[in-house]
Structure 1
């Protein structure tokens, strides 16, 4: 069963983090501020989760979703992909629609 937390929900932007059954974390964003809809999915594979926990200031074994929820607004305001890159956490990106200008 997937677990989900809200990272950010203000105005036209909603961002969740989902823990999949395979151990991966997916950051799912939906932005409705442009002329249409823009969705993006950043997938952090299970082998990158320890690095993500450390980047969030956690200790090995801590609940990564709880840490993401705690730091969600800061991460989203920085830009989720940029934040991950800045902290040397690898993630695959998939997008749909046109990003707002």
Structure 2
């Protein structure tokens, strides 16, 4: 047994390497978990806010367009946007507000 180990045993103190190993694992976990939870919580809240805003805008646009959806307006829109040739832009992947419908 080394002399330094005898001193620690005689004093009733654990060797310095034992305390570093046991504490570093829990300390490292705390340093990783807290920022991860903060980041995930923030991302969730931002996503929730954006989703709510998109839903509100979608509802308000639907109300506006419902007032103007006459057969004459729809026919003029089909001719102007060449719906028969290029497809309906309402069904496009880029139409974010129409995804829930």
The TM-score by the shorter chain falls in which range? under 0.3
TM-score for the superposition, normalised by structure 2: 0.27
Task: Identify the structure with the greater strand proportion.
Answer: 1
Question: Which structure has greater helix proportion?
Answer: 2
